[in-house]
Amino acid sequence: MSEKLINFLVKNQIRDLNFSIPAVVVGIQRLKEGYVDVKPIVNRINPQTGDTFERTTIKNVRLIFPSNKSSTICFPVKQGDQVRLVFQNCSIQSFLDGNTQPHDPITNAFLNLNDVTAEVGFQTTQESCFDANNYANEFDNTSLNIVHNKNTPQESKIEIKESGDVVVSSNSNIEMKSSVVDIESETVNTNNAVINVDNDIVIQGVSLIQFIRSHTHNYSDDGRSMVTAPPNSI
């Protein structure tokens, strides 16, 4: 067998293997479990005839987000979102089922359609996260940006600039829920803001409500020193 023929046969064998390919999410029925159905969007090609044909939809593909036991960055995935499929060179089912110790694969599968994961963020150039046209608010790709509801009136953004400044932008409410919130700052500026407080404000250990309800003023009337009565209850 000639070297040319061997190379031809090897290349044809490699063409049939699955490594990595862009795809589109077409089903989200198991999204809460971390799985989606995907459709690869680059067709196969027959090298001898030039004929092309669509790849089949792959069901129940595991989504990959930056995450470990203590921290997670996760966001909604919708039908039509683009992903990158990565085919594993062994069966990963036991791992997905929770086995994190060295173990034998349950099958001898190699680059199989059942052993594939989907990575979010692999997008067309037009939908790239670096394109400022894809955002409603000003976008600086030299900053660390976390953006949700992109290019809509509900777009919200947390931006950490190169200078270290942190900017939170939103047209909606911003809620902070904690038993204690500590703010250590030389100055807190507000711009035409109304501050609503359901309970009390304590300044250097003094209750503002108690002060307002009980404070008095010294004054002089006909040469006599007098003290005002406390204000009426609020």
Q: What is the pLDDT of residue 111?
A: 76
Distance from C-alpha of 37 to C-alpha of 28, rounded to nearest angstrom: 6
Residue ranges covered by each domain of the chain: 3-123
Do 78 and 120 contact (CB within 8 A), yes or no? no
Do 59 and 37 contact (CB within 8 A), yes or no? yes
Q: Where are the beta strands (DSSP E) in the chain?
A: 20-27, 35-40, 44-45, 52-53, 58-64, 82-87, 116-120, 144-148, 156-160, 166-170, 202-203, 206-207, 218-221, 224-227
Return the biggest CA–CA distance within the chain.
125
Q: What is the pLDDT of residue 226?
A: 77
Q: Helices (DSSP H) in 19-172: which residue ranges? A: 93-96
pLDDT in tens for each of the 234 residues of the chain? 677 666 666 666 666 777 899 999 999 999 999 999 999 999 988 877 889 999 999 999 999 999 888 989 899 999 999 999 999 988 888 988 888 999 999 888 887 888 899 999 889 999 988 899 999 989 998 999 999 999 999 999 999 999 999 999 999 999 989 999 999 999 989 888 888 888 899 888 999 888 888 888 887 777 778 777 777 765
Q: What is the pLDDT of residue 28?
A: 96
Distance from C-alpha of 133 to C-alpha of 128, rounded to nearest angstrom: 10
Task: Report the first-to-last Cα separation within the chain, whole angstroms.
Answer: 100
Secondary-structure class of domain 3-123 per CATH: mainly beta
Q: What is the pLDDT of residue 107?
A: 85
What are the Cα distances from residue 213, in Å, to 158, 195, 197, 199, 209? 41, 19, 16, 14, 6
Distance from C-alpha of 232 to C-alpha of 143, rounded to nearest angstrom: 53
What are the Cα distances from residue 5, in Å, to 10, 50, 51, 94, 182? 9, 19, 21, 39, 73
